[in-house]
Structure 1
Amino acid sequence: MKGSLMVAADTQTVKGQTCLSQGEAGHDDVASPVPSMVRGACPSLSAPMPTGDGLLVRLRPSTPGLTVAQLRALAKATEEHGNGLIEITARGNFQLRGMTSESMPGLAADIDRAGIVPESGVAIEVPPLSGVDPSEIADARGLAERLRSAIDALHPKPLLAAKLAIIVDGGGRLTLDELTADIRLKATNTADGRELWTLAIAGTSATAPRLATLPGEEAIAGVVTLLEALIAIGPRARGRDLDIAHVQAQFPTVPGLSLPKGTPSTSSVGLIPLDKQHSALGLRPAFGQIRSQDLIGFLDVAELKGAHEIRTGPEHSLLLLGLQRDNIEDILAVAADCGLQTHADDPANYVVPCSGAGACGSAHYATKQAAADLVDVGAELLDGSLKVHLSGCPKGCAHPSPAMLTIVGAATGYAIVVNGSSSAKPVAYIHKEGLKSALVALGELVRNNKAAGESAQQCLKRLGRDAIATALRQG
């Protein structure tokens, strides 16, 4: 490293953001529940967040996964102390809904009794199959542990943004390429056989500016150096607040370094082969949410069929380990009956609703019902080429990044955003009673105009914003 990192001069203050986001992860060290949390803090056992259906707790266990008994205990605790709704966020966190200030001590005691230890400190995320996937390029979990030790050794203890996220991705069957991170490390094998880590900031794997490709210990030192630069900016600083040109200048370049292209990540839903004998089974609660009783019923059967560990993954997924392949079909049938999606091409996988009215005080419509309506009438849209974001308000918690189509709730109706985030300028507005007919119109627009071999996304891009707006108004 060449001296200290320089940061942009105009980033001394960073605007915080609400953390009721299914698309982003974070941690909070507040010591006691408070009725109104600082923007940028995350709901935790010690500081649950008020929402439309009571207090919400986000939980990321410190272990790679939970035993069946532990997850069953978590579901029972949510049923007893909350409203029984459990969500898996886009980053693989548990969200427990419907608690009250009176029920929180009982929830915390039951979670402790189950031996579930919440992760604390800065969020360091690794792919869910790290450590059991033989196709993993490098040991992401081991490097993440060494990185956490390096961060814990900093003195004084760093004050970092509550939502700051670091990704350490060792490659393999499931990657975290689609998740945004303030700082990310991605393992790669070079053409000459070396195992290195690519260091990047502020984005997904595709969009984050790359700073350097380094051996493991140098990569850890690089992350620590970036964190020290963020500390210098202030306690709400994020990766996007670093001056990229100045940061890049601090890292050495490797002459003639040749990096192969990465292999596409497998879907987190469906059967995921690990080796000749072992597979993981990925399931997804419908629209990221499941009732405790349904989860308990499923776990009882899964345990009988050999499941011994459940890990959470990206795209709101649950990954079962230990199942015998002969029992997979039986498990899939039970999973579907319990409200779990079992196939990667399920149209519901391409609808991203937020919690919606009733669960969130800011939402203007029932997004889960709208999602079910879209699956029912909009099959032409949901071919896997795009995602439709259903946002109850302009905050866009469930999908902060741009989507091909976003339907944003407002007091008097809905705003339709094309190829943008929920806060972007809409192409059209529709009345409060017109949502389902608008969804039908969008499906018909694709069905009537899609050329042979064309995807829904390609069709909509070719037709353009004006054609989409016209179809919506007519619908």
Structure 2
Amino acid sequence: MSAPVVKGYCPGALRPMMSGDGLVVRVRPFNGRLRRAQADGIATLAAAHGNGLIDLSSRGNIQIRGVREDMHEPLIRGLAAMSLVDADAEIEGRRNVMVTPFWQTGEETDGFAADLTVALSSPDAPPIPGKFGFAVDTGRVPVLQTASADVRMERDAGGGLILVADGFDKGKPVASETVVAEAMALVEWFMQNRGDHKRMAALLASGVTLPGGFIVPRQRQVYAPRPGFTPLGAMVGLAFGQLEVKTLASLAKQGGLRMTPWRMLLVESARRLPKVRGLITDPDDPLLRVVACTGAPRCSQGLARTRATARTLAPHVPPGSFLHMSGCAKGCAHAGPAPLTVTATKEGFDLVRRGCAGDAPDARALSPEDIIKAI
């Protein structure tokens, strides 16, 4: 298997990442939400300075693709004019915050996210590893447990607020007034004890014991994201999380957009599913059973045209299962294990069952036809 280059950080707006089709500029919407004008503005900027393609990331962010290096500065000026850029790249790198899309005005969730952003923007905030992240999952039931995060805010079965270290099955009861301070204290503890570990779950798996107080059982997530109506608007999917600028501009006319880690968007207040090119509105669409990275040729490390292959495989993935198609062993599109993972190599495709893209495969050097037979 080819050894990909692990860069150790996620791209940002101020610290973009070069890919096969130009710079990838990742915008981290504050509090996990884009106002209509911001969404429309991103579409305009992506058309002017990028290649017209936009990605939704597994961390609930939005990426402008194909930006030339000489277009990066005017793009940043445009994003800054819409209050979509942090003060500097260091703050941006720390602000990996996902927010449940199901908060309502007047609830605490929005305030928690805003206060956490302030704490992470402080000059004395700890220099956390590049992919270390936070989940503000403080609705009545958790919906972000399958998304990548290290420090989590959740509710216990009785509605009490708890602080959770990813990888541990119990949380620490905390008050609304102190939850952000407690979260930052947990980050400080991680930094003091992490050694070479960059993620919370890996540190705990190594045998390091959390400080006292983590005694309240967590709720187990039962929510499964699906396109359709919610009390807050319409949830719509996008194949592989990619959309054209026209699609984003059309969605912006429908309402504000709440980000998710599921390659879906919650269109605020929408009472009908918008008929816009590229949207998935059928909850039984086979494309919802596959996730795939950009792949070749847009990613310089991709060893295959992943999304074309994933479209071929999707109808053969059984309902209730899930397939992760990765262009290399890094597995950027899906950080955790999947029931089925297909990893591109120079020799063909490797198949991993109940594992990650870089795990030892159950079968090697397969063709798409071989994979269809195997699944």
Partner of 2:99: 126
Per-residue deviation at 1:396? 0.9
The aligned counterpart of 1:198 is 162
- Residue of structure 2 aligned with 1:438, choices 338, 359, 370: 370
Which structure would you say has the larger Rg?
A: 1
Q: Larger relative CO (CA 8 A, sep 6+): 1 or 2?
A: 2
CA distance in 1, matches of 2:283, 2:154: 24
What does the per-residue CA deviation read over 1:369-398, in whole Å, with 9 as the maximum and x for residues that have no partner? 01111235x1xx231x22111111111111
With 60-69 and 395-404 compared, the bigger mean Cα shift is at 60-69
> Which of 56, 66, 70 is the equivalent residue of 1:88?
56
1:107, 1:217 → 2: CA distance?
A: 38
Give the corresponding residue for 1:365.
304
SS of equivalent residue, structure 1 residue 399: coil
- Corresponding residue for 1:346? 285
* Cα distance in structure 1, aligned partners of 2:331 and 2:352: 12
**C-alpha contact 2:163 2:179 (8 A) present in aligned 1:** yes
Find out whether 1:390 has 2:325 as its counterpart: yes
Distance 2:203 2:371 in 1: 41
Deviations 1:292-334 (A, max 9, x none): 13433x33xx72xxx33112112111111122x3xx15x2xx2
Q: CA deviation at 1:166?
A: 1.4
Once the two structures are TM-superposed, the CA of residue 51 in structure 1 deviates from its matched residue by 0.8
Equivalent residue letter for 2:210: Q
Deviations 1:325-380 (A, max 9, x none): 3xx15x2xx22xx111112221101101111111111111101101111235x1xx
Matched, 1:271 2:206: no
Q: Counterparts of 1:242 and 1:396 in 2: how far apart (Å)?
A: 21
1:470 matched residue in structure 2: none
Distance in 1, Cα, partners of 2:265 & 2:214: 40
Paired residues for 1:155-170 under 5 Å: 156-170=124-138
- 8 Å Cα contact 1:168-1:186 kept in structure 2: yes
Superposed displacement of residue 141, structure 1: 2.3
Structure 2: tracts of 5 or more residues without a match = none
1:145 alignment partner in structure 2: 114
The DSSP-based 3-state class of the residue aligned with 1:171 is coil
**Alpha-carbon distance in structure 2 between the residues aligned to 1:261 and 1:229:** 24
Instruction: From the superposition, tell whether residues 261 and 396 of structure 1 become closer, same or farther in structure 2 (CA, over 3 Å).
Output: closer
Change (3 A) 1:290 1:148: closer
Q: Which residue of 1 aligns with 2:30?
A: 62
Cα deviation digits, residues 20-68 of structure 1 (max 9, x gap): xxxxxxxxxxxxxxxxxxx323222222111111111111122542233
- In the TM superposition, what is the alpha-carbon distance from 1:260 to its structure 2 partner? 8.8
Distance in 2 of aligned mates of 1:168 and 1:216: 12
Residue 395 of structure 1 aligns to which amino acid in structure 2? K
Alignment of 1:45-444 (within 5 A): 45-118=13-86, 120=92, 121-132=94-105, 139-152=108-121, 156-172=124-140, 175-190=143-158, 195-203=159-167, 208-232=168-192, 233=194, 237-240=198-201, 242-243=203-204, 247-251=209-213, 253=215, 261=219, 264-265=222-223, 267-272=225-230, 274=231, 279-296=232-249, 298-299=250-251, 303=253, 307-323=254-270, 325=271, 328=272, 331=274, 334-335=275-276, 338-376=277-315, 378=316, 381-383=317-319, 385-431=320-366, 434-435=367-368, 437-442=369-374
Do the aligned residues in 2 keep the contact of 1:211 with 1:248 (CA within 8 Å)?
A: no
- Aligned partners of 1:149 and 1:113: how far apart in 2? 20
Q: CA deviation at 1:70?
A: 2.1
Equivalent residue of 1:103, what SS? helix
- Residue 80 (structure 1) shift: 1.6
Unaligned runs of 5+ in 1: 1-16, 19-38, 444-475
Distance 1:426 1:237 in 2: 25
SS of 2:13's equivalent? coil
SS of residue paired to 2:34: coil
Amino acid corresponding to residue 264 of structure 1 in structure 2: V
CA distance in 2, matches of 1:173, 1:198: 12
TM-score (norm 1): 0.70
Shift in Å at residue 148 of structure 1?
4.1
| 1:281 to 1:260, Cα distance in 2 relative to 1, 3 A | same
RMSD after superposition: 2.8
Structure 1 residues 341 and 99: CA distance shift in structure 2, 3 A: same
Aligned CA distance change for structure 1 residues 231 and 367 (closer, same or farther; 3 Å): same
1:460 aligns with: none
Deviations 1:382-434 (A, max 9, x none): 31x22111111111111121111111111121111111111111111235xx3
Partner of 1:212, secondary structure, is: strand
Q: Is the 8 A contact 2:59 2:148 kept in 1?
A: no
Q: Which amino acid aligns with 2:244?
A: R
